[in-house]
Every structure is written in C-alpha cells, then in structure tokens.
Amino acid sequence: MGASRFDVIVVGAGPAGAIAAYELGRRGLRTALLEKHRVPRHKSCGGGLTAKVGEIVPFDLAPVIEQTISKVDLSWRLGRVATLRSDRPLIHFVRRHRFDAYLVERALAGGNVQLYDGVTVQGVELLGDAVRVPSTHGSFEGAYVLGADGANGCVGRVLGLMRDRILLPAVECEIAVDGATIDAWRDRVALDVGTLPGGYGWVFPKGDHLNIGVGCFSSSDGAKRALTQYEREHFARRAPGRTISNRSGAVLPLRPPGAPIQAGRVMLTGDAAGLVEAFTGEGIYWALRGGLLAGRAIADAAAAGLATPRYEALIDRELMPDLLEARRLAHLYLWWPRSMHFLPTRWPAAWRTVQHLLRGERHFTDIRGRLGAPGRLIGLMPTAL
C-alpha cells in the first residue's frame, strides 16, 4: 500500500503540534497530525498559561480556562508566607486533556488538517524531495516534517537531534478535593522556595482538583534524591491526609545554545526542541510560540519552493535570547537562594517586574537594566545549567 501524501506531517498533537497544524492549515497546506494517544488524552501537568498566551493565540481560549489567578502565596522553606497580589490576571489554568483537544479541534476546523490518533511513529526517512514517516497506521509522506512529539520523541532521536539537551527533573500529582477546598484556592497559587537548593514547589488549582509538584534546576543523581525527599515534605505540608489520584515524573528539556533542531526538511519544536523556560518551568507558552513559528517558516518555504525552511534561525532570533536570559535568573536563585523570596516580597519593583513578565509586557532580556545591582549580578551568571 502506498504512503498517504500530505504537504506537511506534524508528529505530536500537544500544544506545539496542534497550533503548528492550525497555522499550516490556515495557510492552505494539507497537513497530517499524528498522535500516539487517543484524543483527548490525559496528561498530568501544571497546566499554567501565563497571561501573555492570550497575545499570541489567534482564537479565544476562554472555553477551556478553569481558573484565573492574580495572587501568589510565596513561602520560604515551607514556612513564612507572603501573599503577592496583582490588580490584573497573571496565570490561567487548564486541564491538558481539554486544552490540547480544543487546540486540535481548532486545527481541524479549517478542513486542511487531518488527525490520525492512536498512531505510533516508527521512524523518519529522508527521500530527497520528501520525507517518509512509517507508522502503525502505514506510511505518510510530506514535503516537510515537524516533530512536536515531546522530550522523548521519535523524530529527534532518529535524526540525532537534541542529543545533548539538558533535562531538569520534576514530580507532580493530582489531588481530588471538595468544592470548599477549591473555593479556598480560587484566585491564588502557592509557591515554595529555599527548601531544596535550586528547587521549588507549587500548588495550582484546577476545576475539581489541585496539582501539587516540585522541581529543581539540577539533574544530578544527588539532586534527584533530594527532590524525592522534598516532594514528601512538600506534599505532607500542602495536602495532609489527602490521597493522590495521579502521580508522574517529568523532565523539563532545555536546548543548549546552538544545538541543532533542524535537519533540512525535518524540524523540532516545543519540548522536542527544548523550548522550555527554565526559571519558572513554563513550557506551554513557548511550545505555542515555537509551533506558530514553525508553521510560519514551513508555509513560507512551501510558497517559495524552498527545501529547507528558515526555521532554526527564526527560533534563534525570536525565542532563544529570552530563554537563555531566564537561565541566568535561575543561577541567581542557585547563587543567592533567598533572593527568590526576599526580592519580590521586600522590593516592589521586583514584583512588578514578575507581573510584567507573566503578562508579556517585558521580556527576560529587558529586566537586567531595570533591577539595578541585582540586574548586574544576573548579567554575570552563565546560561548553562
């Protein structure tokens, strides 16, 4: 049986792949969207959309937003809590099975995108003027392939891309709670810093449960062991006596500067390309931006008859400066742990800067000059973690 032919094959129907398929379909390219799970699929995830997401997504996300917060309960070593307030929304929370399915639905609505879910990709074959993607559903061929299949995806692995990525560990769980508890968490999140060197913990409210987790800026074996202990302490403090409904480990993949994320007609985006912001652990915003840039680069290449989209250079110019600057901020926490509690709680300018970042009114590359002496310290920090 011959391969199914499309203009573009997108592997992975998470935020990056779905929004890329939306952009490609909108630009008139016949696109196959391949997903190994059935859509919708459950995914344990903090599910935080910073307010700036609304500025880049070309359609309304209100149907899938479950909570919107403007307060942060910031604790130092699971002890003293300071509540930081904003007069405007900072973060929206979604459940990933609803959010991802909604993005896929919008991609399919234009008619140029076809979803193949429950399909496992088995390789990537470069054919000169096309790319073949063998799968459990047969083979697909396209002029271009976009790998949006996550940190452990097949596309990058087969082509040897992103082998030297940085993987930061995180563990999270879901706790079913009653309506009164959800009401108590309405309009706020909790963040803990200082308990684990380079580590942080969170509590994020959803429609009917809490997402509780921990992460850290180091992937060493010692850090992973310490993270497990911190998880126990954090959970015991945040949800005493509660039962975990879902628990999962995760990695936050970071792209090393200059690491290739493209091999001719094949590109990576989202987590597969390490487009994660290290300082806050935010991935969805950067996945969406990466997916939109990939869709734009591929559509422009197709219109011009180019075999190699100008995608990697676009990511280097549009996203990487901010992502690397965020890693410098992460080093500020490693070098001066108390700064992450002291600065926003004692210095109003620091908290205003955080709000500007979350709303997209400032970029990480903007803030050094606005923070005075701490900003100059940030400039001395490395970008490698």
Mean pLDDT to the nearest integer, 62-77? 95
* Bond before 382 cis per omega within 30 degrees: no
Mean pLDDT to the nearest integer, 280-309? 96
* Cα radius of gyration rounded to whole Å, the chain: 21
In terms of pLDDT, which residue wins out, 46 or 18?
18
In 3D space, the residue among 328, 303, 311 whose CA is nearest the CA of residue 381 turns out to be 328
pLDDT digits (tens, 9 = 90+) for 106-135: 999 999 999 999 999 999 999 989 999 999
Determine the distance from the C-alpha atom of residue 293 to the mean position of all C-alpha atoms in its chain, rounded to a whole number. 15
Whether residue 39 contacts residue 117, with contact meaning beta carbons closer than 8 Å, is answered with yes
Tokens for 367? 């803030």
Q: What is the pLDDT of residue 204?
A: 95
Identity (one letter) of the amino acid at 41?
R
Whether residue 100 contacts residue 117, with contact meaning beta carbons closer than 8 Å, is answered with no
In terms of pLDDT, which residue wins out, 368 or 309?
309
Q: What is the pLDDT of residue 181?
A: 87
- Phi, psi values for residue 131, rounded to 5°: -130, 135
- Phi, psi values for residue 5, rounded to 5°: -100, 135
The Cα–Cα gap between 332 and 340 comes to: 8
Determine the length of the chain.
385
Whether residue 230 contacts residue 196, with contact meaning beta carbons closer than 8 Å, is answered with yes
Q: Is this prediction's pTM over 0.75?
A: yes
Q: What is the pLDDT of residue 264?
A: 96
In 3D space, the residue among 242, 233, 250 whose CA is nearest the CA of residue 172 turns out to be 250
Q: Domain 66-88+167-253: give its CATH architecture.
A: 2-Layer Sandwich (3.30)
The Cα–Cα gap between 56 and 284 comes to: 12
Whether residue 203 contacts residue 190, with contact meaning beta carbons closer than 8 Å, is answered with yes
Mean pLDDT to the nearest integer, 68-79? 96
> Look-up: residue for tokens 């199914």?
4
Whether residue 346 contacts residue 289, with contact meaning beta carbons closer than 8 Å, is answered with no
Q: What is the pLDDT of residue 2?
A: 64
Q: Can you tell me whether residue 377 is helix, strand or coil?
A: helix
Average the pLDDT over each of 96-110, 146-160, 229-243, 256-270 and give the range with the smallest value. Answer: 229-243
- DSSP H helices in the chain: 15-26, 96-109, 154-159, 179-185, 221-238, 284-304, 312-318, 320-335, 339-346, 348-359, 372-379
Whether residue 3 contacts residue 138, with contact meaning beta carbons closer than 8 Å, is answered with yes
Mean pLDDT to the nearest integer, 182-206? 92
- Phi, psi values for residue 150, rounded to 5°: 85, 180
Domain boundaries, the chain: 4-45+95-164+255-318, 66-88+167-253, 323-379
Mean pLDDT to the nearest integer, 356-382? 81
User: What is the C-alpha end-to-end distance of the chain, expressed in Å?
Assistant: 48
The Cα–Cα gap between 155 and 148 comes to: 8
Tokens for 155? 């596309």
Domain 4-45+95-164+255-318 in CATH 3.50.50.60 = yes
Q: Which positions ≥6 away from 140 have C-beta within 8 Å?
A: 3, 4, 5, 6, 9, 32, 34, 116, 132, 133
Query: Please, what is the average pLDDT of the chain?
Result: 92
Determine the distance from the C-alpha atom of residue 154 to the mean position of all C-alpha atoms in its chain, rounded to a whole number. 18
